Structure 1
Amino acid sequence: MNEAGAWTEERVELLKKLWSDGLSASQIAGELGSVTRNAVIGKVHRLGLSGRAKNPAAPSTPRNNAPRKAPTRSPSHPMTGNQGATAGMTRGANALAPQYAPEEEPETQQAPTPSEDVVVPFSERVTIMDLREYMCRWPMGDPTTPEFRFCGGRSQTGMPYCSHHAQIAYQPAADRRRDRSRVARG
């Protein structure tokens, strides 16, 4: 704070009085002079002033606490009359929400999920040092242990996994869509 806007004890007392009288920070800054609204807010915060009187400009008449009567207005979408036409109508905040019709799930046979342990015997698994381009890169075991290995089986051309692990890793698009629709309905 510069010399002209220094917070002297007199200015702080005036600030406290004006604040408790209910003046705004801008009004107090105008009264004090050579100080900004933000400086007043900062000083009030540092002083820990909280309780304020009502603004003197506000009407001092007591409020009527009687319940207010709702204004009478004809509804924009009357619910009387033909209930069948309005029954399926989405109203309110969900009016623009997408409406999904449930998809019929085709009857398909699910292939049994192969077990990871039965596929490759431990003796045929390979370490990262033995892994080659044509070998399956499916990780097996805990990477923090010395027993960690990769499948090492013959990978499919252009794929990182053997046919068994590719079935686990890659899910057909139709199955993904069906799973997504189950989650959306649930």
Structure 2
Amino acid sequence: MDWTAEAIERLKALWAEGHSTAEIGRRMGISKNAVVGKAHRLNLPARPSPIRRDAQPRPAPVPRAPRPVAPARAAVPPPMLRAAPAVAPAAPPPAPAAPVLRAFPAPAARPRLGSRTCCWPIGEPGTSAFRFCGAEPMAGKPYCAEHAALAYVKPRDRREDAA
């Protein structure tokens, strides 16, 4: 586009009125990017970003205090908690069926992960029962034979589907 003196004056006027770059482009019959480029070259005042509407910077996040650890439960509850409930509690819902693997004994000391132990996670991360398998891995694999069978699934042959 040839930017004539009239076009530049019209751009400056629409810019000063506060129209969006897309609206200025529609009114002038040019693209939004042409408006942005020319406004930049003319050093017109910057517009606030439509994405960042609040000019105020956000406050820094406040670090949270660690959660208190629940004390171990006593074998016998205090007398005020011994009263039997009037209604028997409902049974908890059954847990979803999970594939049953052989039970790996919990090591006395947690094994150091590396190239000589199985790295398969066992348990829920973040709990004290979470650990890694620690068994002897297969050669060249990070998992033992049983966990490698779960981790490495052979893809189906697509030629079976094409019939």
| TM-score range for the pair, normalised by the shorter chain length | 0.3 to 0.5
Give the TM-score of the pair, scaled to structure 1.
0.34
Greater relative contact order, per chain length (Cα 8 Å cut-off, separation 6+):
1
Structure number with bigger Rg = 1
Greater fraction helix: 1
Give the TM-score of the pair, scaled to structure 2.
0.38
